[in-house]
């Protein structure tokens, strides 16, 4: 069995001061099949520019999406938009002003390891 993919959905509204730390914490978990989806929720600060820079730096592991009208729709609508643009098996939510600890996906690694070692 192959490792399970994880999409980390990060709704971001005026989160320019925090977004880089949040995204870097996702990649610091070391989980190999992780996609970060930043949903810029109509920010009026530099969130969009920072998200674009993170997308460019990630080598395709980070995506930036916006609501079709570029407006502010709130955290629930932004999470739903993020879910709608991913095909990952698992979804994790992370607020833009928060971060993951390095062991965030250890239990998923454990499950993957158990599946690989079990006979089919």
Kindly tell me if the per-residue pLDDT of 51 is higher than 60: yes
Q: What pLDDT is recorded for position 101?
A: 97
Kindly tell me if the per-residue pLDDT of 37 is higher than 80: yes
Q: What pLDDT is recorded for position 116?
A: 64
pTM for the full predicted model:
0.90
Kindly tell me if the per-residue pLDDT of 91 is higher than 60: yes
The token pair at 103 is 């062991």
Question: Per residue, what are the HEC states of 10-70?
Answer: EEECCCCCCHHHHHHHHHHCCCCCEEEEEEECCCCCCHHHHHHHHHHHCCCCEEEEECCCC
pLDDT in tens, 22-35: 999 999 999 988 99
């Amino acid at each position: 069995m192959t490792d399970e993919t994880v999409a980390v959905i990060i709704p971001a509204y005026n989160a320019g001061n925090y977004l880089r730390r949040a995204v870097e914490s996702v990649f610091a978990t070391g989980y190999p099949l992780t996609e970060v989806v930043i949903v810029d929720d109509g920010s009026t600060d530099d969130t969009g520019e920072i998200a674009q820079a993170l997308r460019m730096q990630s080598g395709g592991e980070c995506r930036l999406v916006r609501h079709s009208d570029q407006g502010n729709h709130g955290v629930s609508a932004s999470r739903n938009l993020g879910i709608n643009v991913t095909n990952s098996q698992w979804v994790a939510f992370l607020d833009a002003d928060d971060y993951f600890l390095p062991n965030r996906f250890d239990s998923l690694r454990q499950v993957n390891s158990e599946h690989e070692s079990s006979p089919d």
